[in-house]
Amino acid sequence: MSSIAHIRHHDRKIQTVEEHLQNVKFRAERIGEKIGVKHIAGLAGVLHDMGKFSEKFKSYILEATNHPEAPPQRGSVDHSTAGGKFLYRFAQNGPRDQHIYMIAEVVANAVISHHAYLHDYLNPDLESPYLNRVRDKHLDDFDYIVQQFYLHVMSEQETQQYISLAVAEMKRYLSEVSIESIESKMLFLTKYVFSALIDADRTDTRSFEEWSVSDPYTEYNAEEGRLARRTLFENYYEKLLSHINKLAEGVDTQSSINQLRRSMSDQCDRYAERPSGIYTLSIPTGGGKTLASLRYALKHAIQHNKKQIIFIVPYTTIIEQNAEEVRRILSDESNILEHHSNVIDHLEDEVEEEWEDGLVVTTKQKLKLARENWDIPIVFTTMVQFLDVFYAKGSRDIRKLHSLSQSVIIFDEVQKVPIHCISLFNHALNCLKSVGQSSIVLCTATQPALQYVKRQLDISPDAEIISNLEEINRVFKRVEIVDLVSEGALNTAQLILFLADKLKANNSVLVVLNTKDVAKRLYREALSLLVPVYHLSTSMCAAHRKVILDQIRDHLDQRMPVICISTQLIEAGVDISFDCVIRSLAGLDSIAQAAGRCNRHGKSDVRPVYVIDHSEENLDRLPEIALGKRLAQQLFIDMKLNANYYNRNIMSNQAIGVYFKRFYTELQTKLDYFIPQLQQNMTDLLLASKSTSYIYRDYRKYKERSEGPLQLLNINSCRTAAKYFQVIDSPTTSVIAPYGDGGKEIIARLNGVESITGLTRLLRQAQRYTVNLYEHEVRRLEQNGGVVSIEGCDVLVLQESAYSKEYGVNLENNEDLDLYIL
Sheet holding 732-736, edge to edge: 770-774, 732-736, 796-798, 787-789
d(CA 284, CA 446): 8
SS3 139: coil
How is 266-284 classified by DSSP, letter by letter? HHHHHHTTSPS-EEEE-PP
Look at residue 314 in the predicted model and tell me its pLDDT. Answer: 81
Phi/psi for 332 (5° steps) reads -145, 120
Sorted by sequence, the CB contacts under 8 Å of residue 122 that are 6+ apart come out as 128, 130, 695, 710, 712, 715, 716, 717
Task: Give the torsion sign (CA, 224, 228, 234, 235).
Answer: positive
Q: How far apart are CA 306 and CA 437, in angstroms?
A: 9
Q: Are 342 and 60 in contact (CB under 8 A)?
A: no
Q: Is 683 within 8 Å of 669 (Cβ atoms)?
A: no
Q: In this predicted model, what pLDDT tens digit does every residue of 272-328 receive, in sequence order?
A: 999 999 999 988 877 788 899 999 999 999 999 999 999 998 876 667 778 888 999
Residue 324: its pLDDT value, please?
A: 84
Choose the weakest-confidence range: 73-77, 156-160, 179-183, 501-505: 73-77
- Per residue in 515-565, pLDDT (tens digit) is 999 999 999 999 999 899 999 988 999 899 989 999 999 999 999 999 999
Highest mean pLDDT among 36-50, 355-369, 568-582, 707-721: 36-50
Q: What is the CA 362 to chain-centroid distance, rounded?
A: 28
Q: Name the band, by pLDDT with cuts 50, 70 and 90, for residue 748.
A: confident
- Helix residue ranges, H only, 566-622: 588-595
- Decide: 786 and 770 in contact? Cβ < 8 Å: no
* β-sheet bridge partners, residue 732: 774
Q: How far apart are CA 19 and CA 38, in angstroms?
A: 19
Q: Which has the closest alpha carbon to 407: 311, 313, 307?
A: 307
3-state SS string for 350-406: CCHHHCCCCCCCCHHHHHHHCCCCCCCCEEEEEHHHHHHHHHCCCHHHHCCHHHHCC
Please, what are the domains in the chain?
6-220 (1.10.3210), 223-346+360-455 (3.40.50.300), 476-668 (3.40.50.300), 670-723 (no CATH), 732-819 (no CATH)
- Distance spanning both ends of the chain, measured CA to CA: 60
- C-alpha of 204 from chain center: 24
Q: Are 281 and 268 in contact, with CB atoms under 8 Å apart?
A: yes
* Strands 308-313 vs 407-412: parallel, antiparallel or unpaired: parallel
- For residue 432, the SS3 value is helix
Beta-bridged to residue 608, according to DSSP, are: 480
Which of 451-460, 766-775, 813-822 is least confident? 813-822
CB 289 within 8 A of CB 412: yes
List Cβ neighbours of 566 (8 Å cut-off, separation of 6 or more). Answer: 510, 511, 512, 513, 519, 535, 536, 537
Nearest alpha carbon to residue 262 among 248, 251, 283, 273? 248
Q: DSSP labels for 724-790?
A: H--SSSS-EEEEE---HHHHHHHHHHHTT--SHHHHHHHHHHHGGGEEEEEHHHHHHHHHTT-EEEP
d(CA 580, CA 507): 8
What does pTM read for this prediction? 0.85
Q: Please, which pLDDT band fits residue 353 given cuts at 50, 70 and 90?
A: very low
- Confidence band, pLDDT 50/70/90 cuts, at residue 802: very high
- Residue 251: how many CB atoms within 10 A of its CB? 7
Contact in structure between 297 and 410 (CB atoms under 8 Å) = yes
Enclosing H/E stretch for 146? helix 142-152
Mean pLDDT of 433-461: 86
For residue 647, pLDDT beyond 50? yes
Report the share of the chain in percent with pLDDT over 90: 53
Handedness of CA 725, 731, 737, 739 (dihedral sign): negative
What confidence tier does 469 reach under pLDDT thresholds 50, 70, 90?
confident
H-only helix segments in 510-652: 516-526, 542-557, 588-595, 623-641
546: number of Cβ within 10 Å: 16
Residue 104 pLDDT > 90, yes or no?
yes
List phi, psi (to 5°) of 600: -60, -35
Cβ-Cβ contacts under 8 Å for 95 (sequence gap 6 or more): none
- The Cα–Cα gap between 443 and 449 comes to 12
pLDDT, tens digit (0-9, with 9 covering 90-100), for 483-501: 999 899 999 999 999 999 9
Identity of the residue numbered 559: R
Task: Please list the helix, strand and coil fractions of the chain in percent, rounded to the nearest 5, in that order.
Answer: 55, 10, 35
pLDDT, residue 354, reads 38
pLDDT digits (tens, 9 = 90+) for 130-146: 999 999 999 999 999 99
Q: Would you state the pLDDT for residue 212? A: 53
User: At residue 251, does pLDDT exceed 70?
Assistant: no
Predicted confidence (pLDDT) at residue 734 exceeds the cutoff of 70: yes
3-state class of 327 per DSSP? Answer: helix
Q: Which tens digits make up the pLDDT trace of 14-68?
A: 999 999 999 999 999 999 999 999 999 999 999 999 999 999 999 998 888 888 7
Q: How far is CA 587 from CA 219, 494, 507, 641, in A?
A: 51, 23, 27, 20
Going by C-alpha positions, the residue among 792, 790, 746 that lies closest to residue 767 is 746
49 Cβ partners below 8 Å, 6+ apart?
5, 17, 20, 21, 24, 79, 80, 83, 201
pLDDT at 555: 95
Model confidence over 572-605: pLDDT tens digits?
Answer: 667 789 999 999 999 998 998 899 889 877 777 8
Q: Is the pLDDT of residue 214 over 50?
A: yes
What contacts 587, CB < 8 A, 6 or more positions away? Answer: 624, 625, 627, 628, 629, 631, 632, 659, 663
DSSP reduced 3-state for 568: helix
Task: Identify the DSSP state of 460.
Answer: P
